[in-house]
Structures are given as C-alpha cells and as structure tokens.
Amino acid sequence: MSIRSTIVSHPFTSELIRRKAQQLCRRSDFSRSDEDDLRQDMITYLWTKARLYDTARGSIEAFVTTAVGSWVAMELRRRRAGKRNNGINAVSLEGTLVECDGERDSLGAMLGDEDGHRRNSIDAKTLLDELDIREAFTRVSASLSAREHSLVRDVVDHGVAGAARNRRVSRRQIDRALAAIRERITGKRTGGEANA
C-alpha cells in the first residue's frame, strides 16, 4: 500500500475530516449540504500533500492534523475574499467607451500616466527631482566613514533587526548609531530641535 493510501485511509484521518466538516457546517457561511463536499475536498488536498509526509519528522496523526488545518484556513480565507470582492465588477479599459469633449474613445485611451500614479498613490518625479535626489545621496554618501557606510548598507539590506543580528549587537545600538549619523547630516537632533 502506498503512503498516500495509508494516510488517506487511516482511521484518524477519516475521523478528523468528519469532525472538521461538521464544525465548518455549523458556521453561518456554510450549510449542512456542504458537508460531503468539504470532506471530499479535504481528502483530495490530503492526497496531494501526502507525498510530503516524512516518518522521521512525525506521526501520521500530526501530519494529517497540520494538513487538514491548513486546508481549513485556506478555505475560510478564500470564502472571506469572495465576500470582500462581492459586488465589485471589473471594467475593461479598452472595451468601455466614454465621451469626452464630444469624442468617443476607449477609457484606456483617455487615461494618462498621471491618472495611474494618482490611483496608486505614487508621486511621479520629474527629471529635476531625480537629479536633486541623486545629488543629495552622493553628498550624504561622501560624508559617511567606511564603517558608517557599511552600517547603512547592512540596515538597507537586512533591516535594523537583521543588521543587529549580523553585527551581534542590540537593535538599540544600531538605532543610536543611525540617529547619530542622521543628526550629523541634518543638523537636527532626533527630537527635532536644531544643534547649537
């Protein structure tokens, strides 16, 4: 008998799946008639995941409990997502014709980049803004010592917690070092007041 058959036909499996299906059917977003479908879906999911079972890592009961629990969580998440999106219809930008200034054209042709930026809350930067940012970055980068540059790069790549872990120091020490760099560059203390 294959491992899949062993897992799916195990008495613990059938009992757990029966109980989980009954529990789900008691919820308001399920009905009693869903019970057989739920059991079948859980068995199918378990059948596909059975290849991941490793006897060295745990018992069949532990594996089945974890797999069935994962399926239940995914199913509840899927149903909630369906409720959140209920009533929202997709609109084709090319298939929807609109009239603007006496002309009819597709909605996609009428929308510009600035509309997309506004919709996605993205500030479009001009070339001048980009040049100012690059100049400021170059100026700040040149003012950092090799040690500070390494620290900043570490924080950018791994975050404060990752940098602290890599350097075997506390996050508070990393925060203090970053605050000192920020204070030196901006001329302001962390609280906001200017240096004397």
Binned at pLDDT 50, 70 and 90, residue 147 comes out as very high
Q: What is the pTM of this model?
A: 0.44
Mean of per-residue pLDDT scores for the chain: 85
Return the residue matching tokens 């600035």: 114
Can you give the pLDDT at residue 74?
93
Sign of the CA dihedral with 23 first, then 27, 33, and 36 last: negative
25: buried, middle or exposed (CB in 10 Å: 19+, 13-18, 0-12)? middle
Residue 169 has pLDDT above 60, yes or no: yes
C-beta atoms surrounding 42 within 10 Å: 23
Can you give the pLDDT at residue 84?
61
CB of 181 closer than 8 Å to CB of 144: yes
pLDDT 10s digits, 95-139: 888 887 888 888 777 777 777 777 776 776 777 888 888 888 888
pLDDT 10s digits, 99-110: 878 888 887 777
Can you give the pLDDT at residue 70?
94
Question: What residue segments make up the domains of the chain, in order of their start?
Answer: 3-81, 127-186
pLDDT 10s digits, 57-71: 889 999 999 999 999
User: Residues with Cβ < 8 Å from 157, sequence gap 6 or more?
Assistant: 163
